[in-house]
Structure 1
Amino acid sequence: MITLSEFLPPRPEESSWRLIRQAGVDNVVGVLNGAEQDQRMFASVGAGPDWNADDRDEVPWSQRALKHNIETYDDYGFTLVALEDTAPIDKARLGLDGRDEQIDNVITQIKAMGRLGVPTLAYNWMALSSWGRTDIALADRGGAYVTAYDRAIGQAQEPLVAPGEVTPEQMWAGLEYFLNAVVPVAEEAGVVLAMHPDDPPQQIDRNLPRIMSSVASFRRLLSLHPSPSNGMTFCQGNFALMPEVIDGTTSIPDLIREFGTENIPFVHFRDVKGTVEHFQETFHDAGQTDMPACMEAYFEIGFEGPMRPDHVPTLAGEPNTRPGYETLGRLFAIGYIRGLEQSVYGHPAARQER
C-alpha cells in the first residue's frame, strides 16, 4: 500500500489537522520551520508564510530543531515521513563561492534526518525562486479557485538575472558537485534524495535556466551519481507538462514504469490542464492524466512510499490565503487517492489476509 501523506508545516492548526487525521491520513510531509522552501512556497504566489520565529537558538536544519518538529507532529498523531525543505542552497545551484558552506548545512540536515528516522528529502534546483503562478484565483468547477500560469505574463515579470549571466551547464555542473558531496552522506544516513521538477517545467524563467524541466533531464540526473539515494520526487503535474509527455512520446504511467521504485521514493499525485505555456491546476478527477492508470502503474512497480496530493482547489467558504493548500480541497483529494488505492492495491483487510 502507499504511504498516504499530507503536506503540513510544523505549526499546528487544530481544526484542519484534526480533519486530515479524520480523513485517514497519519503521515506528514513537512518543511523546516523558517528554512528555504518554507519561506518561498507561498511568497511565490503572493501569500507570505504564516510562521512566527520562536526563541530557540538552533538553525532550522539542526537535529534539535527537527526533533522539535517531529514531536509537534507526534502530538497530533502524525509521523514525519519526508521533508520538502533544506537550508538555503542557491550558491550551490549556481556554482558560486560559498556553496561548500551551504552544502555542509544540507549534510548536517541529512545526518539529523538519518538519526531521527526521516527517510526522504525532497529538494529542487530552482534558483532564486520557487513554484511560479500568474493567477491564484482562476475559477474552476463550481466556482472553486485554482492556480494557473500564463507564460507571457510570467516572463514579463522582473528578471531573476541578466541575460546570459547563468548558463544551463553551469547549473548542471553545480548539481553534479552537490550530488558528489551529498549522496555518499545520504547513503550512510539511510536517506533518499528526491529531486522535484522545475515548476513550471520550462527551460528558462526570466533569464535564469531551469534544468529539471524534461524527462531527459531526469534521466541525466540519475546518471550523474547512480545510487539508491539519488532519486526523484515524481510530481505528476509537472511531468504532465514536459515535452516528451505533451508530444505523446511517453505517458505518465509509462514513466512510472520506466523509473520504477528504485528511482521514485516520493510522489506528488496531482494533475493539470494545458501546456507549459498556459496551464491551470484542477481537481484530481478533472485533469488530462489517466489517474487510475497511474495508480495501477504504481502498484505494478511495487511503490509503497510517501504519496501526497498537491496544489488543490480552494473550495466555497475558504479564504484562499494559501492558494493550492486550503483544507477542503485536500479532503477531496485524500478521498480520491484513497479510493484509487483500494481499487488497485486492495482493501486493507484483504491485503492483511495475503
Structure 2
Amino acid sequence: MKMVFRWYGEGNDTVTLQQIKQIPGVEGIVWALHDVPAGEEWPMDKILAYKKQADEYGLHLEVVESVNVHEDIKLGLPTRDRYIENYKRTIEKVAKVGAKVICYNFMPVFDWIRTDLHKRLEDGSTALFYEKAKVEDMDPMELVRKINENPEFTMPGWEPERMGRLTELFEAYKQVTEEDLWRNLHYFLEQIIPVAEANGVKMAIHPDDPPWPMFGLPRIVTCRDNIRRLLKLVDSPYNGVTLCSGSLGVNPDNDIVAMIKEFAGRIPFAHIRNVRLYANGDFIETSHRSADGSVDICGIVQAYHETGFTGYARPDHGRHIWDEQCRPGYGLYDRALGIMYLWGIWDSMERLKTGTPLNRREPYAAH
C-alpha cells in the first residue's frame, strides 16, 4: 500500500507540502489543475509547476484527482469527441511527470452532495453531513433560481464552473436514462483506455456520492453489480475503480470487504474513510476509527492486505478538529490521524503475517 495525501495547490489549500512531508509514510500528493475548466486540455507549463513544487519535498505526482469529464461526454452530444481528444492529450501530459493513476467520476451535473459542511459531533468537532429529508424536499429548479439571484449560493459539492449551465443541464438530462449514461461511459472508455494503456496510466472511476439517483438524475457507479459491469465495459487492467469506502458505505447493502476481494487487481486507488449511518437515512462523516462509525475500516484494511494491495491509498474526508480553519473535509489534523490509524492496522497485519519485528534492528548511519 502506497500512502498519498490530497493537496489542492499553493494558495488553494491551508495544508502545506512541508506538513504533508512530515506525515509518516506519505510518499506523494494527489493533485489536479483545479483552475482548468472541465473538458479543456491541461497546459504543460502548469503541470510542470506542480512537479517542481512536489520535487522540492521529495513527493511524487503519481495520482491525479481529478481530470473532470465534460458534461457533453456524459450527455453523449456530438461535441463530445473534441473534449475526449483533449482528455487523451491530458493523459499523455500527466504521464510525462510520472502519473500512474487518474481518478475521475461520471456523475451528472454535480459531484458529491452534503447539506451541512460543519455539522457538530458529540466531541465538539464538525464534519460533513447529509440530511436525507432536506435533499428529498429540494426542487432543483428552485435552487437554480436561488443561484441566479445570488451567485454565491451553492450546494456543497457543486463545482462553480457548472453553475451558469444548471438550467440547461437539468433540461438536457431529462432525456438521459441510466442505460444512456452507461452507453456514454462505454463510448468514453473505448476512446481513452487505449491511450491510458499506452502511457502506463490506470483510469480509476470514483463511485457516485451518495450512491443513488439525485434530483431525478441518473447515477450508475453505486454498487457491486454496477462496478462489475463497469469493469467489463472495457476489460483492461487500465480500466479500474477508485474504491471509496465512504461513498459506497452510506448504503448499508454495500459490502466493501467483498468488493475489495472480488475486484482485487482492478483497484489502483483507495479512498478510506468512515461514516455514521442513521435510521432515517441521514449520515455524517466521522474519524477513521471503526468504532466511531458504521463502516468496518479494520476489515477493509485487512482485506486490502490479504489481497496483496500495492496500489495507492489516501485518507478521505476528515473532521475539523482543534479549531483548524480549512477546506471542508480537507484539513491536516484529522486526515493525518487517519493515516496513522490505517498504518497501525496495516503494520499489525504485516507483523502477524511475518512474525518478525518491523523496526530497523541495526543502528542507523550517522546523519
Q: Which interval holds the TM-score relative to the shorter structure?
A: 0.7 to 0.9
Residue 104 in 1 paired to residue 85 in 2? yes
In the alignment, the residues of structure 2 paired with residue 218 and residue 232 of structure 1 have an alpha-carbon distance, to the nearest angstrom, of: 8
2:300 corresponds in structure 1 to 294
Residue 267 in 1 paired to residue 276 in 2? no
* Shift in Å, 1:114: 2.3
1:248 corresponds in structure 2 to none
In the alignment, the residues of structure 2 paired with residue 322 and residue 9 of structure 1 have an alpha-carbon distance, to the nearest angstrom, of: 9
Secondary structure of the structure 2 residue equivalent to 1:64: helix
Residues 84-127 of structure 1 show CA distances to partners (whole Å, capped at 9, x for unaligned) of 12154211111123111111111011111222221000000112
* Shift in Å, 1:152: 2.3
Alpha carbons 2:177, 2:218 under 8 Å: kept: yes
1:242 corresponds in structure 2 to 251
* Shift in Å, 1:351: 12
Structure 1 residues without counterparts, runs of 5 or longer: 38-58, 246-250
2:312 corresponds in structure 1 to 306
Secondary structure of the structure 2 residue equivalent to 1:26: strand
* Shift in Å, 1:26: 2.9
Structure 2 residues without counterparts, runs of 5 or longer: 142-165, 352-356, 363-367
Residues 266-301 of structure 1 show CA distances to partners (whole Å, capped at 9, x for unaligned) of 000111111693211111111112222211111111
- Taking every aligned residue pair, what percent have the same amino acid on both sides? 33
* Shift in Å, 1:133: 0.3
Tell me which amino acid in the other structure corresponds to 1:334: I
2:195 corresponds in structure 1 to 185
Secondary structure of the structure 2 residue equivalent to 1:29: strand
Largest Rg, 1 or 2: 2
Tell me which amino acid in the other structure corresponds to 1:264: I
In the alignment, the residues of structure 2 paired with residue 306 and residue 344 of structure 1 have an alpha-carbon distance, to the nearest angstrom, of: 17
Which of residues 225, 243, 249 in structure 1 aligns to 2:234? 225
Superposition TM-score, scaled by structure 1 size: 0.84
Superposition TM-score, scaled by structure 2 size: 0.82
Residues 170-210 of structure 1 show CA distances to partners (whole Å, capped at 9, x for unaligned) of 111110000000001111111100000001111x2112111
Instruction: Let me know the Cα RMSD of the aligned residues.
Output: 2.3
2:259 corresponds in structure 1 to 255
2:31 corresponds in structure 1 to 30
In the alignment, the residues of structure 1 paired with residue 86 and residue 281 of structure 2 have an alpha-carbon distance, to the nearest angstrom, of: 36
In the alignment, the residues of structure 1 paired with residue 116 and residue 14 of structure 2 have an alpha-carbon distance, to the nearest angstrom, of: 29
Residues 244-274 of structure 1 show CA distances to partners (whole Å, capped at 9, x for unaligned) of 32xxxxx2222111111x2100000111111
Alpha carbons 1:61, 1:86 under 8 Å: kept: no
Which of residues 316, 319, 323 in structure 1 aligns to 2:322? 316
Correspondence 1:87-166 to 2 at 5 A: 87-155=68-136, 156-159=138-141, 161-162=170-171, 164-166=174-176
* Shift in Å, 1:33: 3.6
Residues 11-46 of structure 1 show CA distances to partners (whole Å, capped at 9, x for unaligned) of 266864323221222311111141358xxxxxxxxx
Alpha carbons 2:105, 2:205 under 8 Å: kept: yes
In the alignment, the residues of structure 2 paired with residue 219 and residue 292 of structure 1 have an alpha-carbon distance, to the nearest angstrom, of: 24
Alpha carbons 1:5, 1:306 under 8 Å: kept: yes
Tell me which amino acid in the other structure corresponds to 2:211: P
* Shift in Å, 1:242: 3.5
1:21 corresponds in structure 2 to 21
